[in-house]
Amino acid sequence: MSEDSKKSCGDCGKVISTLLTCSGCLSQFYCSVSCQKSNWKVHKKICKAYKILEIPGKGFGMVAIRDIKQGELILREEPVILINKKNSQRTGKELQRQFETLTKETQASVMNLHDDNPTGENDKKLRRIFENNGIDVNQGDAAALYLNIPRINHSCAANVIWGYSKTSIVSKEVRSLRAISKGEELLANYIDSWENSFLNHRDRQARLRKWKFDCSCSVCDLPKDLLHINDNIREGILRQHQLVPQYMAKWDVSKALAAAKEKLKLLLQIKNEVLSSLPSCYLEVYEMARIQQLLSGSSPLKNQNALLVEAESLSKFYGHSFLVSYQAKVKAIEDEIQDIKKNNPQILKM
């Protein structure tokens, strides 16, 4: 129960001095349990599972205020500023123009986002905030500024990921990569790519200095001996990742399949640190196995179709952008198989 004479019931609108508080978001109020149940179909679409709090040594961050299931939609957000990177005035007049169209409340929220040089020139503050907090959208052709997503701090073992929604390529959805417990900080990987995530600790830190901080996440803060092991695994994953296309360029499919399998094996050793990389890796092993099956006449893997199922399952958990990528890759694999059959009959005779 919470005392709040200024709040009204989220369902019937009645204003009373004692209201029930939604335990999910702690920001919606009801005069009775029946009103709370009646309003849930509407409220669940906006019920927040997190709070923005000050995190020691990090500034502000997002913390789960209840348990969150794997794949749960935590946040959907539209940009308040969207700048085309091809615009020569990306951080000049266009940035200022869009800022001035915002409400005073939104302007204040923008100016409260992280500024890596708070004592710097005040007339350049907006530019610094945009450069520090903006996120690439539309395949990197534009940069967008959101009010809440920038509050998510980095970790090399992320538990959330963002991608675009069904409605718009600039509408961002944040989803949980795994189950998250109440009280856990929500963390994303700022350098989530094959080229960056699987670098060793020293080289990842160098990439992250773009945001002017040193990472002290659960991976980077490992004891020296365990960090060395982790570095070896990550570098091994990257090495196998690079070998697959090298072998395929020579049509050495058996070696490409072996490299893809080894890559997946290593990924699974640090699974909870690299969850976003699993769908594409499962698909890669499946692709190599399909081609090898075409060449040899028999499947080289007993669980070949299970890889496809697992990739699809994870992609659905991780959101629309992952599912679109999954569907496009599956189609590309089938097209590739048909192309080999049609245009390269000599390969089938090898």
pLDDT (0 to 100) of residue 211: 87
- Domain-located, residue 98: yes
Residues 125 and 175 in one domain: yes
Residue with tokens 């009010």: 147
Residues 93 and 43 in one domain: no
pLDDT (0 to 100) of residue 73: 94
pLDDT, mean of residues 195-201: 96
pLDDT, mean of residues 334-344: 87
Q: Over 70: is that where the pLDDT of 87 sits?
A: no
* Mean pLDDT over each residue of the chain, to the nearest integer: 91
Spatial distance between the Cα atoms of 28 and 347, rounded to a whole number of angstroms:
64
Task: Place 149 in a pLDDT band, splitting at 50, 70 and 90.
Answer: very high
- Domain-located, residue 218: no
Q: How many structural domains is the chain composed of?
A: 3
pTM for this prediction: 0.84
Residues 85 and 69 in one domain: yes
Residues 57 and 192 in one domain: yes
Residues 176 and 63 in one domain: yes
pLDDT (0 to 100) of residue 3: 38
- Domain-located, residue 66: yes
Q: Over 60: is that where the pLDDT of 175 sits?
A: yes
Spatial distance between the Cα atoms of 187 and 149, rounded to a whole number of angstroms:
10
Residues 230 and 344 in one domain: yes
Say if CB 260 and CB 284 are below 8 A apart: yes
pLDDT (0 to 100) of residue 146: 97
Task: Place 88 in a pLDDT band, splitting at 50, 70 and 90.
Answer: low
- Domain-located, residue 315: yes
pLDDT, mean of residues 160-175: 94
**174: left (phi > 0), else alpha (psi -120 to 50), else beta?**
beta
Task: Place 349 in a pLDDT band, splitting at 50, 70 and 90.
Answer: low
pLDDT (0 to 100) of residue 24: 64
Q: Which of 90-94, 128-132, 262-266 has the lowest mean pLDDT?
A: 90-94
Q: In terms of residue numbers, what domain contains 13?
A: 2-47
Residue 275 is given by DSSP the state G
Q: Over 50: is that where the pLDDT of 28 sits?
A: yes
Residues 40 and 56 in one domain: no
Q: Over 50: is that where the pLDDT of 280 sits?
A: yes
Q: Over 70: is that where the pLDDT of 91 sits?
A: no
pLDDT (0 to 100) of residue 6: 59
H or E stretch covering 160: strand 160-164
- Domain-located, residue 321: yes
Q: What percent of the chain has pLDDT over 70?
A: 93
C-alpha neighbours within 13 Å on the C-beta side of residue 284: 23
Residues 175 and 301 in one domain: no
- Domain-located, residue 304: yes
Task: Place 92 in a pLDDT band, splitting at 50, 70 and 90.
Answer: confident
H or E stretch covering 249: helix 224-249
Among 164, 182, 211, which residue terminates a domain? 211
Say if CB 178 and CB 317 are below 8 A apart: no
Task: Place 5 in a pLDDT band, splitting at 50, 70 and 90.
Answer: very low
pLDDT, mean of residues 177-203: 97
Residues 43 and 65 in one domain: no
Residues 202 and 86 in one domain: yes
pLDDT, mean of residues 331-335: 96
pLDDT (0 to 100) of residue 40: 87
Q: Over 80: is that where the pLDDT of 267 sits?
A: yes
- Domain-located, residue 219: no
Phi, psi of 21 (to 5 degrees): -105, 135
How many C-beta atoms surround the C-beta of residue 85 within 10 A? Answer: 14
Interior angle at CA 148, CA 219 and CA 196, nearest 5: 35
Higher pLDDT, 87 or 135: 135
Residues 180 and 102 in one domain: yes
Spatial distance between the Cα atoms of 239 and 242, rounded to a whole number of angstroms:
5
Say if CB 204 and CB 216 are below 8 A apart: no
Residues 236 and 163 in one domain: no
Closest CA to 236 of 207, 261, 266: 266
